[in-house]
Amino acid sequence: MDEPRTLHDAFLDELRETYDAEEQLTKALAKMARAVTSSALRNALDTHLEETWVHIDRLERVFETLNERVHGHYCHGMAGIVEEGESIIELEFEEATTDACLIAASQRAAHYVMAAYRTLVAWARLMGHADIVRLLRENLEEERAADQQLTALAEAGINQEAAEPIDVVTETSYIVRIHL
């Protein structure tokens, strides 16, 4: 009979899913950065992408510290969030609306990995892995900062611009009245 799985086992499972989530996020952030029109938002997404590569490197160091092989386990949660973000690009919203929606999608992804990092930090602390706690906290803090930057961009005008009505002018306008 197999022995019951431990918190260490659960930690490794969460670590592998978080690793995969971050890898999925690198592809999604690159696509989103190409799809936005705001240069400030593009810069924020590019910065978040660069940080995500650093997060992956830190996660690899966590695996090494634990003498575990570096590999991810498919993260269905992030896959769903990425799919939602990609569908926004395909919907052909007005430019400012696309930017606002991609901010929301980016923040959903950031909140997802922040939740994973909070769990990993708590469990690593309980198991006495101080070096691992430090690495995971760095990732968590950078995710929080990225989320705050996205909120600032949304509140600084992107959401407002998306909310403003657009003028639609057609070559010929007809008013047709039907009398019954």
Mean pLDDT calculated for residue range 15-40: 96
Torsion angles phi and psi, residue 5, rounded to 5? -75, 150
Q: Evaluate whether 116 touches 21 at the Cβ level (below 8 Å).
A: yes
pLDDT value, residue 175: 44
CATH architecture type of domain 7-162: Up-down Bundle (1.20)
**Residues in CB range of 145: below 8 A, 6 or more apart:** none
pLDDT value, residue 169: 46
Does the model's pTM come out above 0.85?
Answer: yes
Residue 41 has pLDDT above 60, yes or no: yes
Q: What is the mean pLDDT of the chain?
A: 92
In the chain, % of residues over pLDDT 90: 84
Alpha helices, DSSP H, located in the chain? 7-35, 39-65, 76-90, 95-126, 130-153, 159-163
Cα separation, 101 vs 36, whole angstroms? 10
Residue 172 has pLDDT above 60, yes or no: no
pLDDT value, residue 167: 57
